[in-house]
């Protein structure tokens, strides 16, 4: 692994070196695990005491912690982002060979940039466009007329259906499916008939999509994912959903059809949003919470049933089916008290 001196890192990424800038590191690690040739980081001053016990050869610290150690260090206004950048520097993506593997299957009419890479067993459809430096992993399927920007990274077995459009620097992990039909049927007498899903999925720049996440194409108009959206694994995005820029979505979330999510939202794991709702910018939704009405105001929202030992849960939960009755009983009591107090006065 290549070693980087602290002063070289700071020259490249900014920040202020305190202590011996000639110290060189090859990898990043937690305070607990780091060794002499590794750099670590502290993002929360509350844990400052841990600095005393680290074996790290160098540190990334905030201004507030700049003097909390003698270990050579880089001071940054945003140590967490700085850590991310240092890690990217120390762990560059492996070089990928340009060109089309002989075991790839590429339509003659597809347009593959000369700097792109198409792996073995990938299949590229007619008239698809693959941008510069994009890497298409093995077993990927890129449908007809798909336009994929530059510097994309499709891990193995990603499927993009026909006509979808994707910006630059997409990262799609294994098993992602973009552009499958939305779930639309009409009851015709005694059976369902399919509503053709003729919209597309349109994805902006700098989007990352986790393993086995699915994003359905629109029914009539498009499903839209704006720039900088980050999605975890196993998420389901239904047809005609619109997700605003820089929103992050944790694993297993389901967003129903035509919901519109604002920018800079944070949606917790396994949460859900019902169809056709509007969610404002900067809304935070707790894990496991179903949002059943539009949210017009930024802020944090939750709907979690608190867990307990199963015996206690059972004893308490049974009353939920009679809560309205309980409220009625309390109301009656209040009236009776009022009447007793009235007759007593």
Active site (catalytic) residues: 239
Among 30, 44, 45, 109, binds a copy of itself (CB under 8 A): 30
Q: Which of 10, 66, 68, 180 binds a copy of itself (CB under 8 A)?
A: 180
Least distance in angstroms from the C-beta of 318 to a copy of itself: 7
Question: Could you tell me the smallest distance in angstroms from the CB atom of residue 143 to a copy of itself?
Answer: 8
Q: Among 20, 71, 77, which residue's Cα sits nearest to residue 50?
A: 71
Tokens of 12: 């490249």
Question: Does residue number 221 form part of the binding site for a copy of itself (CB under 8 A)?
Answer: yes
Q: Shortest distance, CB of residue 111 to a copy of itself, whole angstroms? A: 19
Query: In the complex, what is the shortest distance from the CB of residue 220 to a copy of itself, in angstroms, rounded to a whole number?
Result: 5
Site for a copy of itself contains 97 (CB under 8 A): no
Q: Contact with a copy of itself (CB under 8 A): which of 96, 274, 277, 280?
A: 274
19 to each of 5, 57, 58, 171, how far by Cα in Å? 12, 11, 9, 38
By CB under 8 A, tell whether 220 contacts a copy of itself: yes
36 binds a copy of itself (CB under 8 A): no
Residues 136-165 that bind a copy of itself (CB under 8 A): 137-139, 141, 144, 155-157, 159, 161
Question: Based on CB atoms, which residue is closest to a copy of itself, 52 or 299?
Answer: 299
CB atoms within 10 A of CB 288: 16
Phi, psi of 41 (to 5 degrees): -155, 155
Q: Tell me, by CB under 8 A, how many residues bind a copy of itself.
A: 128
Smallest gap from Cβ 223 to a copy of itself, in A, equals: 12
117 touches 96 (CB < 8 A):
yes
Backbone angles phi, psi at 263, to 5 degrees: -85, 155
In this structure, what token pair is assigned to residue 1? 């692994």
Pairing of strands 4-5, 24-25: antiparallel
Whether residue 286 contacts residue 302, with contact meaning beta carbons closer than 8 Å, is answered with yes
What single-letter DSSP state applies at residue 278?
E
| Closest among 183, 145, 150, 181 to 164, alpha carbons compared | 145
- Measured in whole angstroms, the distance separating CA 252 from the mean position of its chain's CA atoms is 11
Instruction: Establish if 78 lies at the interface with a copy of itself (CB under 8 A).
Output: yes
- Whose Cβ is closer to a copy of itself: residue 29's or residue 261's? 29
Reduced to 3 states, what is the DSSP secondary structure of residue 329? helix
Piece of the chain touching a copy of itself by CB under 8 A; list 49-57, 67-75, 108-116, 169-177: 169-177
Chosen residue from 16, 36, 276, 314 binding a copy of itself by CB under 8 A: 314
Site for a copy of itself contains 3 (CB under 8 A) = no
């Amino acid at each position: 692994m290549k070693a980087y001196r602290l002063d070289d890192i700071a020259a490249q990424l900014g920040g202020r070196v305190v202590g011996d800038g000639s110290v060189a590191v090859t990898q990043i690690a937690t305070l607990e695990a780091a060794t002499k040739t590794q750099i670590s980081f502290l993002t929360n001053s509350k844990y400052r005491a841990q600095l005393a016990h680290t074996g790290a050869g160098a540190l990334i610290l905030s201004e507030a912690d700049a003097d909390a150690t003698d270990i050579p260090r880089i001071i940054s206004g945003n140590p967490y982002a700085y850590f991310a950048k240092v890690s990217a520097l120390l762990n560059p993506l492996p070089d990928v060979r340009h060109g089309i593997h002989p075991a790839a299957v590429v339509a003659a009419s597809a347009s593959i940039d000369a700097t792109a890479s198409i792996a073995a067993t990938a299949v590229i459809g007619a008239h698809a466009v693959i941008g510069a430096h994009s890497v298409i992993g093995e077993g990927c399927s890129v449908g007809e007329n798909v336009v994929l920007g530059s510097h994309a990274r499709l891990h193995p077995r990603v499927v993009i259906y026909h006509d979808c459009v994707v910006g630059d620097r997409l990262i799609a992990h294994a098993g992602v499916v973009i552009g499958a039909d939305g779930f639309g049927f009409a009851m015709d007498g005694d059976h369902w008939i399919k509503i053709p899903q003729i919209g597309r999925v349109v994805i902006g720049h700098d989007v990352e999509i986790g393993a086995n996440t699915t994003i359905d194409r629109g029914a009539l108009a498009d499903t839209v994912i704006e720039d900088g959206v980050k999605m975890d694994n196993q998420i389901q995005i239904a047809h005609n959903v619109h997700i605003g820029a820089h929103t992050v979505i944790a694993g297993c979330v389901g967003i129903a059809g035509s919901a519109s999510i604002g920018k800079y939202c944070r949606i917790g794991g396994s949460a859900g949003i019902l169809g056709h709702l509007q969610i404002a910018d900067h809304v935070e939704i707790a894990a496991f919470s179903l949002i059943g009405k539009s949210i017009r105001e930024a802020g944090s929202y939750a709907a979690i049933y608190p867990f307990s030992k199963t015996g206690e849960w059972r004893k308490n939960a049974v009353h939920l089916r009679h809560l309205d009755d309980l409220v009625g009983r309390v109301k009656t009591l209040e009236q009776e008290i009022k009447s007793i107090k009235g007759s007593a006065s």
